[in-house]
Each structure stands twice: as C-alpha cells, then as structure tokens.
Amino acid sequence: MGKRSAEDTILMKRVARGEKDALGELYDLYGRLVYSVALHFVRDPNVAEEITQDIFVTIWTKARDYNPERAGVSTWMLRITRNRSIDELRRHKSRRDIPVGTTMDVVQNVNTSNGEAEDPENLAVREWDRVRIVEAVDSLPEQQRQALRLAYFHDLTHREIAEELNEPLGTVKSRIRMGLQKLRKMLEAGEVTE
C-alpha cells in the first residue's frame, strides 16, 4: 500500500493541475469503493451514483487542498464519502437497516471486477490488503462488529446505539472500545493501514 500511496499522491498532483485523464485514473482505482460505500449508506443506486459523482467533482475542485501528510488518498476519499452519505441520510432522516457484508461477498466482487487500468502488482497488493481488512472486521465478535457498524454507517452516538440495541450504555461503550482496539491491533500487525 505504501508504493500505491506515493503514486496516488502524484496522481492527485496531476488532478490538481487540471488533468482530466488523472481524475479518470483515480476513478478507475477508487470509483467502485466510493460507489459501494455510498450505496451501503443510502441503499439507493441512483442516490449512490449522485454521491459518487459529487465526490469526484469535489476531488477535482479541491485537489489542491489535499495534504498527503494528513491522510492517504483512499482514506481521504473514504472519509469524504462517509460525510457526504451521512449528510444525505440526515436530509432524508433514514439511518436504519444497514446490511452486513461478509468476506466472501468481497472476495467474489474482487474476483469479478475489471481493474484493467491498474498495474497487476498494485492491484494484487491493494486487493489483498482489502481482503485482510474485511477478514479483520469479520473476525470481531458479532456484538462488537454490530456496535461499530451502527456507529460508522448510522452515525449513531453510543447512547443512541444503546437504545437501538436495548442494552446498557456501559455495555455498548465497552463493545465499541474493545472492538476498535482489536481492529487496531490486527491492522497494525498486517500493516494495512494507510
């Protein structure tokens, strides 16, 4: 991911210079991720497309403000996609019923993706990293994973999660803390964080 990260930064520099081809390359690398995350939030393909388009137009106009020392390109894109999706959900006041993905879903989708535009070595490393991330999340105890997903995809506070699950607030706080600590250690060991 390190080499990919450095090359992403140079790609962003080209986007900042107004090269539409560079934005196209960025879309080939991360368009599927942005669309999939947005779709997971809003559950409506048309709205997910609209969000994806907004994200890439935002990247186009804000590329000069991107600071690689604060976050990698994929992390930055993931975070602005989450923020944009949460804004969309707030507009429609619909923050419920998020499905749970599994490792097999991801592996199957990775295997059927086209990905022709990317260096095969980079593609293999990136997708292996991704599989490890999914496996790390899937390996969490169900209750911890559920609490973390409610916080991430529903943007619920711990108190709201406790109400949603009908559990004591302290229990929810413990689940989230322990889940995030485990994830941090697993990702640190695999060096997949960017």
Partner 1 sequence: MITGRQEHEEMSHLLPSYVTGGLEPDEIAAVKRHLRRCVRCRALLAEYRSAFDAVGLSVPLKEPPPSLRSRIIDSLPAQPPYRLPSPIRFILDHPRAAIAASFAVLLILFGSIWLNVSGISGAALPAGNHSARSAEDILAVMSGTSVAPDARAIIAIGADETSGVLYAFGLPVLPAGYAYQLWLMKDGVRKSGGVFRVTPEGHAVHHIRLPVPLTEFPTFGITVEPESGSDDPTGSKILENQAPGSDGASQPGIEETSGFRTDL
For the segment 146-185, give every residue that binds partner 1 (CB under 8 A): 148-149, 151-153, 155-158, 173, 176-177, 180-181, 183-184
For the segment 26-45, give every residue that binds partner 1 (CB under 8 A): 27-28, 31-33, 35-37, 39-40, 45
For the segment 48-77, give every residue that binds partner 1 (CB under 8 A): 48-49, 52-53, 56-57, 60-61, 64, 67-69, 72, 75
Binding map of partner 1 across residues 105-144, x = CB under 8 A, - = no contact? xx--xx--x----------------x--xx-xxx------
- Which C-beta is closer to partner 1: that of 165 or that of 187? 187
Asked if 96 touches partner 1 (CB under 8 A), the answer is no
Instruction: Centre a 10 Å sphere on the Cβ of residue 48 and count the other Cβ atoms it contains.
Output: 22
Q: Give the count of residues interacting with partner 1 (CB under 8 A).
A: 77
